[in-house]
Chain A
Amino acid sequence: MTITGRVFLFGHDIDTDAIIPARYLNSFELEHLKKHCMEDADPSFAAKVKPGDIMVAGKNFGCGSSREHAPLAIKAAGISCVIAESFARIFYRNAINIGLPILEVSLEGLVKDGDLISVNLENGTVFVKDKELKAQAFPEELMAIIRAGGLINYVKKELKAGETYAK
């Protein structure tokens, strides 16, 4: 499946307080999170973002808190994929667990805000103008979670398959 979307460009070290400020963590309703997504980095983001848009950032995207509200807010805002040079560990794990598509590849200097780019999520290819960029492949262990549509579906399958609880 290839997605085409408008780019929202962010810099390096975008932290989870920028993605969803802690003052809004008194609720995890998706509509509430969506309304305040990226508020302290770009106050107009929530008003401008449209379903299918693509977020592009530099290194260490999602650093800071473990709050799953961060990838949830981005997903709720309609972002189809986050492309970053690198991701902070917990954000990376959370995005995979909740089924927010992410790709690890640097688009530095290649795109600006509002550009249209395309992404093939299956093979991790990003199409920027006449260029094709390959994202870092996911290890097989993570692909299994991604294919299941997130950790809950994955674990549910495991529970059904007779996996016993740890003693």
Chain B
Amino acid sequence: MGQTLAEKILAGHSSKSTVRPNDFVMAKVDLVLGNDITAPVAINEFLRLEAKKVFNKEKIALVCDHFTPNKDIQAAEQVKYVREFARKHEITHFYDVGLMGIEHCLIPELGLAKPGDLIIGADSHTCTYGALGAFATGVGSTDMASAMALGKAWFRVPLTQRFNYTGKLKLFVSGKDLILFTLGVIGVDGARYQAMEFGGKTIDDLSVEARLTMANMAIEAGAKAGLFAADKKTVAFLKSAGQNVAEIKPDPDASYYKVYDFDVSELEPQVAFPHLPENSKNVGEAKGIKIDQVVIGSCTNGRIEDLREAAFILRGRKVNKNVRLIVIPGTQKIYLQAMAEGLLQTFVEAGAAVSTPTCGPCLGGHMGILASGEVALSTTNRNFVGRMGHPRSEVYLSGPYVAAASAVAGEIIHPKEVL
């Protein structure tokens, strides 16, 4: 019997030729990732292990992106701790202020996540790389520490749920809307412990950027990974990152725990209401909700395509006087590209603040914290209680088109209404 993408990759990295759901495997990892919040804890555990060295200095990525540029003394100490470890162990892929970007925007851009790779990261959104056909999953700091020493980790092979999408998407509907819609159907634990595998004609037509957005939020359904076949678009995307890779896809006779078929030709832009990403509704149902702040960026929607979408709406328009708009390009390369295309000028002229890459406001870290009673619309991934600031603030989630249009209107609105 055939294998799903998740099964293929896990089998390929263990000593087994095939694996089945619920098998335990000890598998070699191609990349171990950590950030300025999770890596310090991992480094402590690594020291407790008394391992003399890391398994491979080229297969560890340390990206200081969460509270950087350092938001306070304690954050600075944590980054210093990571920096010293990186220097001591000569970690090739250590990214500090100036070079760093939001890890899940940066890693694909650097070509460090490839089809068929097995990647673990001490960051829940590590699942993003599933968009490139990698099995990538979030773990904690202790797992990261162990993998930094051993170069392998244990996995329970997940069941796979298959999501097929057909139909041509309407204008202003993209990856974010597809994943918010899907979360609305299956819920925040709808794929708990399982792999999500995305496909269908709509996905074939989708850009790699939009797929990265979708895979990024697989964790919001509790999934272990969110995978896409690697096709011509994936190969081209990675070619521009300096990697020559082959296409991979699941076996046609792979066995799925569940199969969903969605016709998304009539799908409207989606907005997830507080306080769970599963609370997604058509944008029309959110019409008129007043907002205080809009954030466009993050590992979910901080890529060049996202900034182009936002700029398309904002060009020649002004941000509403009651709204603060914060735009955060995901990496320095994206920042430069946005500059070259005139997008940054569009944002600033519209009255937005443009920031250096950081996860900052997405997790209520810095660079745009909400006061009590404030409401934000954000292109980020989570709208839990207190996620972006005060426990009595509220976060709505959407894609960049809706976010930009709403920043202009001062309330949540369908993009077609501001054009």
Contact indicator A141/B154 (Cβ below 8 Å): yes
Q: Which residues of B contact A15 (CB under 8 A)?
A: 382, 384-385
Q: Which residues does chain B contribute within 8 Å of A50, judged by CB atoms?
A: none
In the assembled complex, A156 has its CB within 8 A of some CB on chain B:
yes
Least CB distance, B221 to chain A, in whole angstroms: 10
- Tell yes or no: B8 within 8 A of A by CB: no
Q: List, in ascending order, chain A residues with CB within 8 A of B140's CB.
A: 66-68, 71, 90, 93-94, 97-98
Closest to B146 in A: A155
Asked if A63 contacts B151 (CB within 8 A), the reply is no
Instruction: Check B267 for interface membership: any CB of A closer than 8 A.
Output: no
Q: How far is the CA of A26 from the CA of B74 in the complex (A)?
A: 5
Interfacial chain B residues near A69, Cβ < 8 Å: 37, 41
B-side interface residues, number (CB < 8 Å): 59
**Interchain CA distance A39-B386 in the complex, whole Å:** 10
Contact of B385 with A22 in the complex, beta carbons under 8 Å: no
Residues in chain A near residue B78, CB distance under 8 A: 26-28
Q: Would B142 and A88 count as touching, CB distance under 8 A?
A: no
State how many angstroms separate the Cβ of B29 from the closest Cβ of chain A: 8
Known pairs A40-B386, A66-B124, A156-B50; A166 contacts B188 (CB<8 A): no
Within 8 A of A (CB), among B131-168: 138-143, 145-146, 149-152, 154, 156
Chain A 61-75 near chain B by CB (<8 Å), digits 1 or 0: 001111111011000
CB-defined contacts of A25 to chain B, threshold 8 Å: 37, 66-67, 365
Q: Find out whether the CB atom of B37 lies under 8 angstroms from the CB atom of A60.
A: no
Residues of A within 8 A of B44 (CB): 28
Chain A contact residues, CB within 8 Å of chain B: 13, 15, 17-18, 21-23, 25-28, 39-41, 59-60, 63-69, 71-72, 86, 88-90, 93-94, 97-98, 139, 141, 150-152, 155-156, 158-159, 163, 165-167
Interface residues of B (CB under 8 A from A): 24, 28, 37-38, 40-41, 44-45, 48-51, 53, 55-56, 66-67, 71-72, 74-75, 78, 121-124, 126, 138-143, 145-146, 149-152, 154, 156, 188-189, 192-193, 219, 222, 224, 276, 363-365, 369, 382, 384-387, 391
Q: List 28 A-B contacts (CB under 8 A).
A: A15-B384, A18-B386, A23-B365, A28-B44, A59-B189, A60-B222, A64-B382, A64-B384, A68-B122, A68-B140, A68-B142, A69-B37, A72-B41, A89-B193, A89-B224, A90-B139, A94-B141, A97-B140, A97-B142, A98-B140, A139-B24, A152-B48, A155-B49, A155-B146, A165-B53, A165-B55, A165-B151, A166-B152
